[in-house]
Amino acid sequence: MRCTKVRGRASVVFLSLFAGLAVAQPAVLDRVPKDAAVVVAVKDVGGLRGKVDGMFKALNVEDRGPMEELDQLFETAGFNRAGSFAMVMMHDPEGFEPVSDDTMFMLVPVTDYAAFVKAMGGDPAEKLATLEEMFDSARCKDLGNGYAAISPNEELLGKIDGKGGNLEAHKARLGKIGGSVAETSDVLIVADLSLFSDMVVEGLGEGFDQAEMFAGMMGGDEEDIKKMMNSFRDGLQAMARDMKTGIIGLSMDDAGVAADFACQFKDGSGTAGMMAHPSTVRALTGRLPAIPYIAAGAMDMKNPLVAKLTEFGQAMQKMGGGGMDFMNAGQAALDKTDATAFVMGTSPALFQAGMMANLVTFTASKDTDGLMKAQREALLKTAEAQQEGVKFETTYKADAATVAGRKADQWTMKITVDPDSDQALQMQQMMMMFTGQQDQLSGYLVKADGGVIQTMSTDQALLTKAINAAEGKGGLGDQPEFKAVAAKLPATRSFEMFLSIKGTADMIGAFMEFAGMPMPFELKNDLPPIAMSATTEGGAMGFRLYSSMATIKGIGDAVKQMEEQMEAGDDGMGGGDRPKPRF
């Protein structure tokens, strides 16, 4: 069956968007030039097609979109459905243009070169056959061994020999994290980021010039602001100059979908040196209480990159003329912190208790006594503090209660906003979000094995759960759906975050109820969270985003519910009888 020009172009675009590499060495990558600027490859076109079709079926998607175009390519005589495909863009010595036809060619798998060329409207007897049925009358060349090269640039096509032997060079440019992405992905895109570094450096410079002007309008010491902004700009520009290889991966199976993003930095560079700190925070989130939650996560505070970001956050406090600088009193506690984890629980009384009522943190430390002391001193440092129109009144009582067999210190922090302050309205709104109808924050500090537990409320039932979880009983790590998703993240991650779709929807529903609008959809209670992680290892940074198929289906069901309501003449936002607003 012959493909039309439109269908031919759409099929190629689809393959380019969904390109991949699996653990086995793909023949197509071995044939890609070592100095390729961008590589987009598919190891098994048929396998990819089956997985995407399976996902569409699971989500009840009737419009197959680009898959219909891919079907046409599959029906083309001579095309190898089980083969590997690659789109390659070479560096343009006169100015790199990622979408330039002059620098692009494709490696297409074929079972019968002559049949494929004929189906595309070409003459297989020609050295460079013209494919009339493909976009812009592309040229095609037989590389032998089951591959054809296609490009609109005859000169470029003439230089392509398609010889193998390049796989090891590609592995070297990927690095350790990139190699792991390649081994687990159905989808892989690799780019030479050094070609973009000058453009990124220039863009960062222009962006920070504008940010510096805006920051100056906020008040504060102009020299301090300039020094801080320049330091941050220099750091980001250094990272941009050190970029080597960018990697994007996509993998999917019956359990879920993972997206990976990684950047390998130049060997021996300052940035590469900072990205050499593998961690194991994966066990820390599991020591948080298994409560209904919005988000949970953990971070290695000894990671050099985290330390740099923390340093910048502290410097940001000087941008308002040094206001709120007493908050830096927590530096002593930070110095004794190895890693920290948190869970932000949902609250059925969001506007009464505030968003932080069910917040629990677990801070890992080798010196728990020293950490407890530093945290106590940091809290007491705010007693009677008053800056920027905000007054803090703090109390701290050691051994105020005994909960689950452990002594608990209790603290309170009353925050009063000066009504005459320029930021009074914003501060009052923010505090209401945190404290609800209360006018203060309060909670417990408890020393646990290997760390310190802190709550943001005096709910002893919550504290009991937190203590038990820290001791390995009833933690998030014991929940099957949580454990299954966490297992999909890299083992050496320095950061992890789990976002509960159900918990987030409940929070949104509370806001909608407050405004007198019903929730336009319902979600199951047992949906696994969306997971994400960051890893710094081997001179590279990697980020992974993972969602289970059950969660994807749940989101799809929610969208379908809203569509059905709209089709029925109800936008789901409260048409007809609805509760009155609560304000």
Instruction: Locate all alpha helices (DSSP H) within 243-390, ordered by sequence.
Output: 270-274, 304-316, 331-335, 350-353, 368-380
Assigned token pair, 339? 């890693």
The pLDDT of residue 319 = 52
CA–centroid distance for 123 within its chain: 48
Assigned token pair, 338? 């190895």
The pLDDT of residue 578 = 46
How far, in Å, CA of 455 to CA of 363, rounded? Answer: 12
Reduce the DSSP state of residue 515 to 3 states and report it. coil
What percent of the chain shows pLDDT beyond 70? 79
pLDDT (average), residues 149-157: 91
How far, in Å, CA of 157 to CA of 379, rounded? Answer: 69
SS3 letters for 15-54?
Answer: HHHCCCCCCCCCHHHHHCCCCCCEEEEECCHHHHHHHHHH
Query: 102-111 burial, b for 16+ CB within 10 Å, e for fewer?
Result: ebbbbbbbbe
Q: Do the bridges between strand 495-499 and strand 540-548 make them parallel or antiparallel, or are there none, so unpaired?
A: unpaired
Cα 169 to Cα 108, 156, 245: the distances in Å are 21, 22, 13
Question: Could you tell me the pTM of the whole model?
Answer: 0.83
Strand partners, 561: none
Assigned token pair, 449? 């094995």
How far, in Å, CA of 330 to CA of 502, rounded? Answer: 34
pLDDT (average), residues 563-575: 64
Reduce the DSSP state of residue 126 to 3 states and report it. coil
Residues in the chain: 583
Reduce the DSSP state of residue 470 to 3 states and report it. helix
CA–centroid distance for 132 within its chain: 42
pLDDT in tens, 455-483: 998 999 999 999 999 999 989 988 999 99
pLDDT (average), residues 28-41: 90
How far, in Å, CA of 108 to CA of 244, rounded? Answer: 28
Reduce the DSSP state of residue 527 to 3 states and report it. coil
**In the predicted model, is pLDDT for residue 571 greater than 80?**
no
| Residue 282 banded pLDDT, cuts 50, 70, 90 | confident
How far, in Å, CA of 54 to CA of 207, rounded? Answer: 43
Assigned token pair, 480? 């099957």
Tokens 């009840």 found at: 60
Whether 497 contacts 393, CB under 8 Å = no
For 56, the enclosing helix (H) or strand (E) is helix 45-58
CB atoms under 10 Å from CB of 515, counted, come to: 13
Most confident stretch, 131-135, 224-228, 542-546, 564-568: 542-546
Helix 197-216 with 222-242: angle, nearest 10 deg: 170
Whether 30 contacts 22, CB under 8 Å = no
| Residue 205 banded pLDDT, cuts 50, 70, 90 | confident
Q: What single string gives the DSSP state of each residue in 135-153?
A: GGGEEEEEEETTEEEEES-
Strand partners, 409: 445
Strand partners, 257: 252, 547
Q: What is the largest CA-CA distance in the chain?
A: 90
**In the predicted model, is pLDDT for residue 416 greater than 70?**
yes
Assigned token pair, 286? 């599991």
Most confident stretch, 199-208, 234-243, 317-326: 234-243
The pLDDT of residue 426 = 66
* Four-point Cα dihedral 40, 46, 49, 55, nearest 10: -120
The pLDDT of residue 114 = 97
Whether 118 contacts 133, CB under 8 Å = no
Whether the CA torsion 327, 329, 332, 333 is positive or negative: it is negative
Strand partners, 188: 41, 249
How far, in Å, CA of 70 to CA of 84, rounded? Answer: 14
pLDDT in tens, 338-370: 999 999 998 776 666 667 789 999 999 999 999
The pLDDT of residue 218 = 55
pLDDT in tens, 313-341: 666 655 544 444 444 546 778 889 999 99
The pLDDT of residue 220 = 54
* Four-point Cα dihedral 271, 251, 37, 532, nearest 10: -30
Assigned token pair, 80? 């190898």
